[in-house]
């Protein structure tokens, strides 16, 4: 750091000066300075140049103190949220931020923004897009602008170039100070802008902590809570983030939201829960331990609007998927009765189709587990899973709880998709239901009618030159089910 002393009479405005560093921001494939697409930036590292020794002594470079020399034996460097010094020969994960500290000559590394935010476009909602556009409109600097700015800072600090800073030439003229102050103003502005740049690298963990805190407080309005939940939903698609949500105690908050008297909060909470649970065994276990299954079933019974029930069903399906322990509890806690009531209430068919699809998924998931067991695999974990699945008596319960006559009703829908889902489920349920199917003569009649209809559709498609269409798939499903009815 360049040390300068100030003329005794000079105003005691402290010169705040960022340590000059070159920030090589880009995707680093390996070390040795090999980089691609690097951009030059200045990092907001508070250094200070004070007018006297005491003041100088209090201003340290925090980040240098945090330089860590661990991982010496490892070839692959593990970046964290903090800047760490990179050892020669260490490889870096792509996307890490690297900067060259001009003072020490060492390279420093931390997690890149891309590594902190694993966001994929398909999870973006209009709100998120708006937010991103907002962020994009924040000030940013081109490498040239930053080079120019740094050159000016150097000049300002060089006593030869800047007479204001020359101790041998104290300047008692107050007017001169004004002109110096006006020349320093851009530095202050630059520093502020750089602080904003640093803020952009708030990690997902920090963001979630903030969101949960706001959600937990009593100050937020319903509208604000809804947007907090929406932001959380966006984050928990990432497996790690969903697990962080649990470890931060967020699960209880979300379950509390499901219990809310405001149906919009119920809906959004169910959405967050379902997204956090999807393909995330750790969260699934935590959720069951927190009583999520009971809460979801209760909400499914009590929630009023259809779209709330839809989201709750989404969360329930995500909780049960590939989780035989939860499935067993679902069956033994009357989950199938709850779904049966829901099925009967839903005239439109959307909820019916979702329920039937969910049952189909659960049946086939278990079947696949036992088919895979035909392999001479003696993996203990696999054996344990098979043992757990064998306790889920889904087929038997479906037969007893009236599903053999409920699912056929979905065939009356006018939607091809609903019918297809119904046919697949009816085939999957046949081992438990075929006797009951035969007791419903209208089922065979409607199958034959559907077959004629889809055969016609297949023919008209063949005239247009299409083969192996969706409709011929449905005809095949009808034939398969027909065989099971004989
Ligand atoms: C919510 O606040 C309560 C008490 O104010 C606290 O015990 C709890 O840990 C907080 N939960 C979260 C997720 O911050
Ligand atoms: C939901 O609310 C009811 C009372 O309205 C309460 O008894 C129950 O404990 C609450 N459940 C959760 C998970 O907050």
pLDDT tens profile 99-146: 766 566 677 777 765 555 443 444 444 444 444 444 444 445 565 666
Say yes or no: 121 and 227 in one domain: no
DSSP string, 50-80: -SSHHHHHH---HHHHT-----TT-SB----
* Contacts of 191 by beta carbon, 8 Å cutoff, 6+ apart: 16, 18, 44
Q: Is 484 a domain residue?
A: no
Q: Is 23 a domain residue?
A: no
Q: Which of 408, 433, 458 is a domain's end point? A: 433
Determine the structural domain holding residue 221 and report its residue range: 208-433
Q: Is 135 a domain residue?
A: no
The per-residue pLDDT for 356 is: 95
pTM of the model: 0.61
CA of 243 from ligand 2 middle (Å) equals 24
Say yes or no: 214 and 98 in one domain: no
The per-residue pLDDT for 162 is: 54
- Residue of minimum CA distance from atom 8 in ligand 2: 259
Residue 15, strand partner residues? 49
Burial of 407 (0-12, 13-18, 19+ CB in 10 A): buried
Say yes or no: 386 and 276 in one domain: yes
Report how far residue 316's alpha carbon sits from residue 323's, in angstroms, rounded to the nearest whole number: 11
Pocket test for ligand 1, best of 210, 215, 216 (most atoms within 8 A of CB): 216
Written as six digits, the tokens of 189 are 């502005």
Q: Which of 126, 142, 172 is a domain's end point? A: 126
Q: Is 24 a domain residue?
A: no
CA of 447 from ligand 1 middle (Å) equals 56
Written as six digits, the tokens of 196 are 């904003």
Which residues of the chain fall short of a pLDDT of 50?
A: 1-74, 117-139, 163, 166-172, 174
Question: Which atom of ligand 2 approaches the CA of 295 most closely?
Answer: 13
Q: Is 248 in the pocket of ligand 1 (CB under 6 A)?
A: yes
On whether the CB atoms of residues 97 and 112 are closer than 8 A, the answer is yes
Q: Is 173 in the pocket of ligand 2 (CB under 6 A)?
A: no
DSSP string, 300-361: HHH--SHHHHHHHHHHHHHHHTT-HHHHHHHHHTTHHHHHHHHHHH--SSHHHHHHHHHHHH
Say yes or no: 306 and 426 in one domain: yes
370-420: per-residue pLDDT in tens?
A: 886 555 556 777 788 888 888 888 888 898 889 999 999 999 999 999 999
CA of 259 from ligand 2 middle (Å) equals 6
Say yes or no: 258 and 393 in one domain: yes
Q: Is 446 a domain residue?
A: no
CA-to-CA dists, residue 179 to 85, 267, 309, 385, angstroms? 39, 60, 67, 77
Between 126-136 and 222-235, two packed helices, what is the crossing angle to 10 degrees?
80
| 251: nearest Cα among 241, 261, 263 | 241
Q: Is 356 a domain residue?
A: yes
The per-residue pLDDT for 437 is: 94
The per-residue pLDDT for 318 is: 97
Say yes or no: 122 and 212 in one domain: no
Say yes or no: 314 and 219 in one domain: yes
Report how far residue 210's alpha carbon sits from residue 227's, in angstroms, rounded to the nearest whole number: 13
Q: Which of 80, 96, 126 is a domain's end point? A: 126
Q: Is 250 in the pocket of ligand 1 (CB under 6 A)?
A: yes
Q: Is 257 a domain residue?
A: yes
Q: Is 147 a domain residue?
A: no
On whether the CB atoms of residues 268 and 233 are closer than 8 A, the answer is yes
The per-residue pLDDT for 188 is: 72
The per-residue pLDDT for 483 is: 93
Q: Is 295 in the pocket of ligand 2 (CB under 6 A)?
A: yes
Buried b or exposed e, range 85-109, using 16+ CB within 10 angstroms: bbeeebebbebbbbbbbeeeeebbb
Give the total residue count for the chain.
486
Written as six digits, the tokens of 158 are 């060089």
Report how far residue 436's alpha carbon sits from residue 430's, in angstroms, rounded to the nearest whole number: 9
Between 239-247 and 250-258, two packed helices, what is the crossing angle to 10 degrees?
90
Burial of 441 (0-12, 13-18, 19+ CB in 10 A): exposed
Report how far residue 297's alpha carbon sits from residue 205's, in angstroms, rounded to the nearest whole number: 30
Q: Is 89 in the pocket of ligand 1 (CB under 6 A)?
A: no
The total number of structural domains that make up the chain: 2
CATH number at residue 236: 1.25.10.10
Say yes or no: 309 and 414 in one domain: yes
The per-residue pLDDT for 133 is: 43
CA of 214 from ligand 2 middle (Å) equals 21
């Amino acid at each position: 750091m360049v040390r300068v002393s100030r003329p005794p009479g000079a105003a005691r405005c402290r010169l705040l000066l960022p340590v000059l560093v070159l920030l090589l921001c880009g995707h680093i494939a390996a070390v040795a300075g090999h980089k691609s697409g690097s951009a030059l930036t200045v990092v907001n590292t508070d250094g200070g140049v004070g007018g006297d020794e005491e003041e100088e002594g209090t201003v340290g470079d925090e980040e240098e103190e945090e330089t860590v020399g661990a991982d010496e034996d490892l070839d692959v460097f593990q970046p964290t949220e903090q800047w760490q010094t990179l050892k020669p020969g260490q490889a870096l994960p792509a996307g890490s931020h690297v900067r060259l500290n001009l003072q020490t000559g060492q390279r420093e590394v931390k997690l890149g923004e891309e590594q902190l935010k694993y966001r994929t476009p398909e999870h973006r909602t209009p709100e998120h897009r708006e937010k991103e556009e907002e962020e994009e409109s924040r000030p940013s600097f081109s490498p040239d602008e930053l080079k120019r700015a740094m050159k000016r800072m150097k000049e300002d600090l060089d006593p030869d170039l800047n007479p204001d800073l020359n101790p041998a030439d104290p300047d008692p003229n107050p007017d001169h100070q004004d002109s110096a102050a006006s020349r320093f103003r851009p530095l202050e502005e630059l520093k502020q802008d750089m602080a904003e740049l640093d803020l952009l690298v708030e990690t997902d963990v920090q963001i979630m902590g903030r969101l949960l805190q706001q959600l937990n407080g009593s100050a937020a309005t319903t509208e604000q809570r809804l947007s907090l939940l929406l932001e959380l939903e966006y984050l928990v698609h990432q497996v790690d983030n969903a697990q962080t949500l649990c470890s931060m105690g967020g699960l209880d908050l979300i379950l509390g939201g499901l219990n809310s008297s405001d149906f919009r909060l119920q809906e959004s909470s169910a959405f967050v829960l379902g997204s956090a649970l999807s393909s995330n065994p750790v969260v699934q276990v935590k959720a069951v331990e927190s009583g999520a299954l009971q809460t979801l079933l209760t909400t499914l019974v009590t929630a009023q609007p259809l779209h709330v029930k839809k989201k709750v069903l989404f969360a329930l399906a995500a909780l049960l998927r590939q989780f035989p322990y939860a499935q067993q509890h679902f069956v033994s806690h009357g989950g199938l009765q709850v779904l049966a009531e829901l099925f009967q209430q839903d005239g439109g068919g959307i909820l019916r189709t979702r329920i039937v699809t969910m049952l189909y998924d659960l049946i086939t998931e278990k079947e696949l587990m036992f088919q895979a067991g035909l392999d001479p695999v003696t993996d203990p974990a696999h054996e344990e899973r098979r043992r757990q699945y064998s306790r889920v008596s889904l087929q038997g319960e479906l037969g007893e709880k009236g599903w053999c006559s409920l699912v056929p009703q979905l065939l009356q829908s006018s939607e091809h998709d609903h019918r297809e889902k119904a046919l697949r489920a009816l085939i999957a349920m046949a081992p438990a239901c075929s006797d009951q199917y035969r007791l419903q003569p209208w089922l065979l009649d409607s199958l034959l009618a559907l077959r004629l209809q889809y055969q016609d559709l297949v023919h008209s498609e063949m005239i247009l030159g299409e083969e192996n269409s969706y409709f011929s798939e449905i005809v095949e499903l009808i034939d398969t089910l027909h065989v099971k009815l004989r």
